[in-house]
Amino acid sequence: MRFSNLVIETSKTAPSDAIIISHVLLVRAGFIKRVANGIYTLGMPALKMASKIENIIRQEMDRLDGQEVKFPVVMPKELWEMSGRYYSIGREMARFKDRADHDMVLGMTHEEAAVHFAMNTISSYQKLPFMIYQIQTKFRDEPRSRGGLIRVREFTMKDAYSFHMTQEDLEKYYYKQLEAYNNIFRRIGMNNFIYVQSDSGMMGGKIAHEFMAVTPDGEDELVICSHCDYKANEEVAECQTDTFDNTNDTPCEEVFTGEAKTIEEVCQRLNIEATNTIKAVAYANKETGEPIMVFIRGDLEVNESKLCKVVRAEIIPLESTENPAISFGNIGPLANLPVKTIIYDRSIENRAGMVVGANKPEYHIINFKVGRDINIEHFHDVAKVKQGQRCVKCGHELTIQNGIEIGNIFQLGTKYTQSMGMTVLNENGESINPIMGCYGIGVGRAIASIIQNSHDANGMILPISVAPWTIHICPVRIDNEEVRKLSFDIYDQLQKKGIDTLIDDRDMSPGVKFADADLLGMPIRLVVSPKLIANNEIEIKIRKTGEVVIVKIDELYLKLDSIIQNLMEEYK
């Protein structure tokens, strides 16, 4: 490709809404152009990168006997009514009426389409297991699109769906997918990613993992054990109960605490640690409005994802003053709180010598003992994991890092096959609902995450496995006939060898060309200049290491072959 022909304009600055580095660089390099909130046109370099990523994904999916298919973007309401998601999903699903006034939706995921395709087609266990996948455009009306390609509304996604006769078979296959995902992310050059246990959210099912690019710009918090292999999204990370001295058996006593209301204020007033307090956090059932009260150790926060699962409902935070039942303030776990749903976090199990609210203004109770002063049947794990807490698996210290979700895999069970009525006959001639798994990767977000993980102050550093071009030729003084001729000779030669090459044939200063080469971040830069030609030489620079090699012209291709092979090693 000739730079002079390329429909991109590089720039030294990014628009003010671009804060995250991959967004800044993608815009500055002209890879993407914003069309609307969370909607972009991908220019040629971004699309070439997407295609290379898609091909690696395809290879790994086909290795697992995947059959590539294409489901529609636009689907009729009926399909989503069968699974129940037409109603359970909110405004993130775009809907419209077609010209016959029929309700249609834009696919944001394709479980329904996959089951529709397989049902009535596959009728016997002999065809199972099988996996179908597509790489297709999706639209999800995100309330807050952000960060360029990090969170968009329209995106290209690989989504795969597997169908199995038994849970055992699904699990075996699921871990093969997990392995394939590891391969994919390594091969596309994601140099800092992990997978964590995750929430299955609106997909249904129980076991799920997310693949995460680790980056400070990530919105997800990841709980990672410093010692063992425990890794989980904060949304589902389990809390280890800390050990405390619970021998204090002094009877309860009401103490005046006046204006002190927050845990911090109460601790200061009574000169105690927050770990010796129990606080109340109020929520409401989003649908019914009924209050939900959580009692948790004063130094901990409630993990709302975990709480949702415990109460099996969507929840919203509630100011205690908003509900007359609990408007008295200083709420404590004393009996007779007029709230139907009360959740006790595991952090207060067996605790003694605690400070709790007295269920009336200006007073707290000290020396409260769980078990003695209140009888609690069930404790639940609804606390957020804190940096430095201990791992539930091995007891070592946990760290918290930020990440961007780049892929996810779910064990769906029979949620879709059952609701949509897909059955196959097993070996005994009985109808069963196949058990499903699903496996997604967002291609655009992969592009952004690769750049998050791989850039420097001058621009992107693109992995050779997915870089739009492998080689970027910078002719210095293109107006010099010798430079021009040699540059284009090399360009033609490389093209013939099947090496993707970009040639900067613009009549620009070396400074501008080198800056653009660094910004675009192709793995290998070649410089051709009058001075080098005089010595019969070419300069090779490796973007990743900064290494510069000067070679004789007739040694160029041999040297390039070895550099390319070397760079590819990592991504095989």
Q: Give me the residues that bind a second copy (CB under 8 A), please.
A: 1, 4-9, 30, 33, 35-37, 39-44, 46-48, 50, 65, 67-76, 79, 91-92, 94-96, 98-100, 102, 104, 106, 113, 116-118, 121-123, 126-127, 130, 132, 136-137, 139, 141, 143, 153-154, 156
**The dihedral of CA 335, 337, 338, 340: what is its sign?**
negative
**Pick 122 or 260: Cβ nearer a second copy:** 122
d(CA 165, CA 130): 10
Radius of gyration of the chain measured on its C-alpha atoms: 29
Q: What is the DSSP string of 131-188?
A: EEEEEEEEE---SS-BTTTTB-SEEEEEEEEEEESSHHHHHHHHHHHHHHHHHHHHHT
**Closest distance of CB 412 from a second copy, Å:** 17
CB of 132 to a second copy, least distance (A): 6
Pick 58 or 544: Cβ nearer a second copy: 58
CB nearer to a second copy: pick between 268 and 509: 509
Residue 556 three-state SS: helix
Q: Which residues of 243-264 are buried (b: 16+ CB within 10 A; e: fewer)?
A: ebeeeeeeeeeeeebeebeebe
CB of 72 to a second copy, least distance (A): 5
User: Does 72 sit behind a cis peptide bond, omega within 30 degrees of 0 on the bond before it?
Assistant: no
> Shortest approach of a second copy to residue 445 CB, angstroms?
15
Residue (89 or 311) nearer to a second copy, CB: 89
Residue with Cβ nearer a second copy (94 or 374): 94
Distance between CA atoms of residues 412 and 382, nearest Å: 24
Q: How far is the CB of 100 from a second copy (least distance, A)?
A: 8
* Identity of the residue numbered 86: Y
**Cβ distance to a second copy smaller for residue 112 or 210:** 112
Smaller CB distance to a second copy: residue 1 or 568? 1
* Residue nearer to a second copy on the CB measure, 286 or 360: 286
Q: Quote the least distance from Cβ 482 to a second copy, whole Å.
A: 23
Q: How far is the CB of 104 from a second copy (least distance, A)?
A: 8
Distance of closest approach, residue 192 Cβ to a second copy, in angstroms: 27
Any idea which residue has 């649908």 for tokens? 287
CB of 55 to a second copy, least distance (A): 11
Residue number with CB closer to a second copy (211 or 439): 439
Closest contact distance (angstroms) between CB of 149 and a second copy is 12
Instruction: Give the C-alpha separation, 331 to 547, whole Å.
Output: 65
* CB-based contact 203:410 (threshold 8 Å): yes
The 3-state DSSP class for residue 371 equals coil
In angstroms, rounded to a whole number, what is the distance separating the alpha carbons of residues 248 and 272? Answer: 14
- Tokens 């425990």, residue? 230
Kindly report the three-state secondary structure assignment for every residue of 323-358. CHHHCCCCCCCCCCCCCCEEEEEHHHCCCCCEEEEC
> What value, to the nearest 5°, has the Cα angle with vertex 508 and ends 502 and 513?
50
Closer residue to a second copy (CB): 121 or 243: 121
Residue pair 191/74 in contact by the 8 Å Cβ criterion: no
